[in-house]
Structure 1
Amino acid sequence: MCSSGCVDSAEVARCFDLGRVRSSSTGPVARGKQGEVWRLDTTEGAWAVKVAFGAVSEPGIAASAAFQEAAHAAGVPTPELRRTREGAVLGRVGATELVRVHSWVDLGPPDPLLDPAAVGEVVAAIHRLDVPADGPADPWSHEPVGAARWDDLVEELAAAGAPFAGDLARLRDELVALEGWIEAPEVLRTCHRDLWADNLLPTPDGGLCVIDWEESGPADPSMELAAVVFEFGRSDPARARALVESYRAAGGPGAVRRRGHFTMLIAQLGHITATASSDWLRPNPRSPSRQDAHAWVAEVFDEPHTRAVLDGLLRAVVAPGTG
């Protein structure tokens, strides 16, 4: 059930106590930057089987798995995590393959123009969980790429003839200026930390579903909210305002009040841009071809998160007297 055909669907069903196999996909039905998903249908239901590209371990994912389970129990719309017969998150299938299993949910394609009020309500439900942070903030979400690294990438991409080298060169000063907004989180609690449109998806019945909780960990809810405001507000003040008003009404604890609250957005999009650029130079399982890397980095160039855009969103969502 992986690209090399090394995972046996019957073994997965046995390991996770899923009943008898009825059918399984002949290839991955979804693929992300961290892994690929296969579908398995058994007498107990339909299941999403995720195979990670990189190394994973039970201790390394224990906290994020527990957070997803807490979210599911609290009514956050998310697939149910299935544990093995022994109670583990990861199941060893075959000689080397470690997989995890979730209940299957039919999902629509990513759409940053989802109903902003519905998005705000879901994010508030996640933030209301109030799960204490189990460590420090992670660099991917809270630290800059840095001017020196940007300069190196611009030079390397230009020398290699990357088709987006000019785009990055033109955006370089803006990216460095934005990193000047980055600040330390005020409040750390467990957050999803990956609430892009790829992971907050529509369902056929008109609802929403949150997937891919593996990156969950310590963050500031206000910083995660600001990232969501950009992703689903785009540059539309009315959408941004509707999202935040819904979040507040649903009891969300975060608030976007200043430029520093865009720290998670700036850091994550900076690291995504730098990583995708590096992947173009050196393809790998995350980005198997230069076309994959180009498509990933193009998302930033298509709708850049400039200071002007973020300031406009900030003006739209800051309540009078709280700026």
Structure 2
Amino acid sequence: MDDFGEWVRDAFALGAGPLARVVGGRGADGDIWHLRVGEREYAVKRPFRAVDADVVHREAELLEYLAAHGVEVPTHVMTADGRLVVEVPDALGGGNARVSRWVAGTSVTDQTSEVAEPLGALLARLHRAAPVTQDPPRAWYTTMVPTDEWTELIERSVGQPWHGALLAREGDLTAYAEVVDRAGPGTGPFVRGHCDLHPDNALAAPDGSLRALDWEDCGPLDPTRELAKTLVQWHVLGEDVDDTAIARTVAAYRKEGGPGMLAGTTDFAMVLCSETNFLAHQIRLALDGDAAGERREQAHGEITEALEDYLPSLSALDRVLDAAQLP
């Protein structure tokens, strides 16, 4: 890490001072380091896949916009010549690197009930501050994998440790598709927002409020559908629905002026699409003999976790809808 850290310091002109990697980790999309240069702290990301510089620029513009409107977000660091993404030398492993300012806080992944109110307040702040857009949400959030592709993935999974669990969820996948078909892509109004605000992408600040991290998937969204997605990803685990936490999150969201309002099962289209598209992507990765072994192993874990915890039945979604209907 010392050589890579020095390269990052030079490439992104991070300045002088003692250099240290504080902590590192691996996400679903790439490796992440917490880098300290003197008293300054940065997040350094090395994505697994090639990065579209235009997409990163749009992300950076959104974060600068939100920061200018009083939302604390991890704004990007540019190189001296204005680049946000830089190719890493082959001698240091190749690929690309990008840097953002570090946002301090503590993990809330295992405290989703305890932070129900701060979660609602955060989402309301993001939705209120977000710029309006005429662009529709991406297909990842509005379209499911076709039935014939699921059939193929199930067949290709024969003999894999997740095959039985995947086969058992085939009925739920069909039910999801019916909901998504009824929902359609949505008609707006749309805003530019986070799109992936699950518990691993948030931190508790010292004052108890929450901060949103990992904005790589940001883009156009329907606030109501993101509210529904957030409630499911934070307060539903398999068939276990935390009704009280849902009500508290929605109450805080409304108190802070959040514009989303759940009205029916079709409001869950965004989470149904994103969770199933992610699952399909991980299955393809796990079955890809050309993929690196450690990435395939990580995909195995993601598949098991998704099938066990992240694909609620429609009856569980009905409970979420009921809990979200405050007086």
Task: Tell me the TM-score normalised to structure 1 length.
Answer: 0.88
Q: What is the one-letter code of the residue matched to 1:185?
A: G
Q: CA deviation at 1:258?
A: 1.0
Q: CA deviation at 1:141?
A: 1.0
Which sits farther off after the overlay, 109-118 or 199-208?
Answer: 199-208
1:156 is matched with 156
1:32 is matched with 27
- Give the distance between the partners of 1:55 and 1:92, measured in 2 at CA: 10
1:211 is matched with 213
Q: CA deviation at 1:169?
A: 0.5
| Secondary structure, aligned partner of 2:43 | strand
1:189 is matched with 191
Contact conserved, 2:50 with 2:95, CA < 8 A, in 1?
no
Contact conserved, 2:202 with 2:212, CA < 8 A, in 1?
yes
Q: What is the one-letter code of the residue matched to 2:144?
A: P
Contact conserved, 1:283 with 1:289, CA < 8 A, in 2?
no
> How has the CA–CA distance of structure 1 residues 46 and 130 changed in structure 2, closer, same or farther, with 3 Å as cutoff?
closer
Alignment partner of 1:110 is 2:109 = yes
Q: What is the one-letter code of the residue matched to 2:109?
A: P
Matches within 5 A, 1:85-164: 85-94=80-89, 97-104=95-102, 105-108=104-107, 110-111=109-110, 112-133=112-133, 135-158=135-158, 161-164=159-162
Q: CA deviation at 1:294?
A: 2.1
2:54 is matched with 59
Q: Report % sequence identity.
A: 28
Q: What is the one-letter code of the residue matched to 1:145?
A: V
Task: Tell me the TM-score normalised to structure 2 length.
Answer: 0.87
Which sits farther off after the overlay, 300-309 or 285-294?
Answer: 285-294
Q: CA deviation at 1:33?
A: 1.6
Contact conserved, 1:9 with 1:40, CA < 8 A, in 2?
yes
- Give the distance between the partners of 2:168 and 2:138, measured in 1 at CA: 28
- Give the distance between the partners of 1:293 and 1:265, measured in 2 at CA: 20
1:12 is matched with 8
Contact conserved, 2:60 with 2:75, CA < 8 A, in 1?
no
> How has the CA–CA distance of structure 1 residues 229 and 286 changed in structure 2, closer, same or farther, with 3 Å as cutoff?
farther
1:268 is matched with 274
> How has the CA–CA distance of structure 1 residues 78 and 285 changed in structure 2, closer, same or farther, with 3 Å as cutoff?
farther
Alignment partner of 1:317 is 2:324 = yes
> How has the CA–CA distance of structure 1 residues 204 and 292 changed in structure 2, closer, same or farther, with 3 Å as cutoff?
farther
Which sits farther off after the overlay, 182-191 or 114-123?
Answer: 182-191
- Give the distance between the partners of 1:90 and 1:44, measured in 2 at CA: 23
Contact conserved, 1:287 with 1:293, CA < 8 A, in 2?
no
Q: CA deviation at 1:135?
A: 3.2
Q: CA deviation at 1:289?
A: 4.5
> How has the CA–CA distance of structure 1 residues 308 and 298 changed in structure 2, closer, same or farther, with 3 Å as cutoff?
same
CA RMSD of aligned residues (A): 2.4
Alignment partner of 1:166 is 2:149 = no
1:251 is matched with 257
Contact conserved, 1:18 with 1:44, CA < 8 A, in 2?
no
Q: CA deviation at 1:92?
A: 4.3
Q: What is the one-letter code of the residue matched to 2:194?
A: H
| Secondary structure, aligned partner of 1:252 | coil
- Give the distance between the partners of 2:293 and 2:285, measured in 1 at CA: 6
Which sits farther off after the overlay, 309-318 or 95-104?
Answer: 95-104
1:230 is matched with 232
Q: CA deviation at 1:23?
A: 2.2
- Give the distance between the partners of 1:60 and 1:115, measured in 2 at CA: 31
Is there any run of 5+ residues in structure 2 with no aligned partner, and where?
none
Is there any run of 5+ residues in structure 1 with no aligned partner, and where?
none
